């Protein structure tokens, strides 16, 4: 006989999966491509490549412990980024709550966010021109702005520390997107800071240092010959005796 607790847990999981199916039904082909792109680096590429629906992506997120009935924030983050904010209600989140938690719990990297933003600013004509410029190094397949950027990354033409190729393309085709790249560079530089010092730990450490220091001095003085200790106490000289 199954316990009431295990039955309740099972019901929670089924209820959660029902919500995921509802979300899946409201997402189109482009949304699925966006979800897959934003999950690059967090979910193995082979799994993403085989995903043809949002529910496939959700299944991988569950398997990678990036999603659960107890913690659905990562999916909320993804929905927020791709502009499907009305679906946040199924995860018990609001747009404001996600915005509040993003700096603390966000998993999508600055670089991934940058590429996604750029993809939204590259229209079909811009994409055609970019492909033309890099024609010799690209496969002859139909591409979206997202798959184009993913290919540049896969070919090691761009990464989080090397955006030269992307900057050159934007300068020639879509100069307005250079602002996004500059913003990314500023935010990335701001992340490289010294970790904050734990004031309480620092205070305890200093207290321990002082204790050890005082003990060492006391031990040292006690080890001195009696005559030298008397001289030191009387303050006969501001300096230690020459023969110390």
Q: Minimal CA–CA distance to 73: which of 36, 102, 30?
A: 102
* Helices 29-38 + 145-154 axis angle, to 10: 30
What is d(CA 241, CA 227) in angstroms, rounded to the nearest whole number? 11
Q: Minimal CA–CA distance to 72: which of 29, 121, 118, 105?
A: 105
Predicted local confidence at residue 243, as pLDDT:
46
What percent of the chain has a predicted confidence (pLDDT) above 90?
A: 69
Q: For residues 75 and 67, is the Cβ–Cβ distance under 8 A?
A: yes
Task: Name the 3-class secondary structure at 192.
Answer: coil
- Cα angle for residues 109, 112, 113 (degrees, 5° grid): 85
At 113, phi and psi to the nearest 5?
-65, -40
What is d(CA 203, CA 208) in angstroms, rounded to the nearest whole number? 9
Same fold flag, 15-107 and 112-193: yes
- Integer CA distances (angstroms), 179 to 164, 167, 174, 176, 182, in order: 14, 10, 10, 6, 5
CATH code given to domain 112-193: 1.10.533.10
The CA dihedral of 194, 195, 196, 198, to the nearest 10 degrees, is -130
- Which two three-digit tokens encode residue 83? 């502009």
Q: For residues 25 and 87, is the Cβ–Cβ distance under 8 A?
A: no
pLDDT surpassing 60 at residue 213: no
Place of tokens 């079909």: 124
DSSP for residue 89: G
Q: What is the pLDDT of residues 88-128, one digit of tens each?
A: 999 999 999 999 999 999 999 999 999 999 999 999 999 99
pLDDT surpassing 90 at residue 12: no
What is d(CA 75, CA 80) in angstroms, rounded to the nearest whole number? 8
Residue 5 pLDDT grade (very low, low, confident, very high; cuts 50, 70, 90): low
pTM of the model: 0.75
In whole numbers, what is the pLDDT of the chain averaged over residues? 84
Gyration radius of the chain over CA positions: 30
- Which two three-digit tokens encode residue 140? 């002859």
Predicted local confidence at residue 200, as pLDDT:
47
- Domain extents for the chain? 15-107, 112-193
Task: Name the 3-class secondary structure at 68.
Answer: strand
189-198: average pLDDT: 65
Predicted local confidence at residue 192, as pLDDT:
79
Residue 19 pLDDT grade (very low, low, confident, very high; cuts 50, 70, 90): very high
Q: What is the maximum alpha-carbon separation in the chain?
A: 94
DSSP for residue 236: S
26-37: average pLDDT: 98
pLDDT surpassing 80 at residue 6: no
DSSP string, 141-172: S---HHHHHHHHHHTTS-BTTB-HHHHHHHHH
Domain at 15-107, CATH homologous superfamily: Death Domain, Fas (1.10.533.10)
């Amino acid at each position: 006989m199954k316990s009431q607790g295990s039955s309740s847990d099972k019901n929670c999981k089924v209820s959660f999966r029902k919500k995921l199916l509802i979300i899946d039904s409201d997402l189109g082909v482009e949304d699925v491509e966006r979800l897959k792109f934003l999950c690059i680096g967090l979910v193995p590429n082979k799994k993403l490549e085989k995903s043809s629906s949002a529910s496939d992506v959700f299944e991988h997120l569950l398997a990678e412990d990036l999603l659960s009935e107890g913690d659905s924030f990562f999916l909320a983050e993804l929905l927020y980024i791709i502009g499907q904010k009305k679906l946040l209600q199924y995860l018990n989140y609001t747009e404001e709550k996600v915005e509040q938690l993003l700096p603390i719990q966000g998993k999508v990297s600055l670089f991934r966010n940058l590429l996604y933003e750029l993809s939204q600013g590259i229209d079909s004509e811009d994409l055609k021109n970019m492909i033309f410029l890099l024609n010799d190094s690209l496969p002859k397949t139909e591409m979206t702005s997202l798959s184009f950027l993913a290919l540049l990354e896969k070919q090691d033409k761009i990464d989080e520390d090397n955006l030269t190729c992307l900057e050159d393309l934007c300068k020639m085709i879509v100069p307005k997107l250079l602002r996004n790249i500059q913003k990314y560079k500023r935010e990335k530089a701001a992340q490289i800071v010294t970790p904050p010092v734990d004031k309480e730990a620092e205070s305890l450490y200093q207290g321990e240092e002082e204790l050890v220091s005082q003990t060492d001095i006391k031990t040292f003085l006690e080890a001195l010959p009696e005559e030298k200790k008397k001289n030191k106490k009387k303050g006969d000289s501001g300096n230690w005796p020459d023969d110390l």
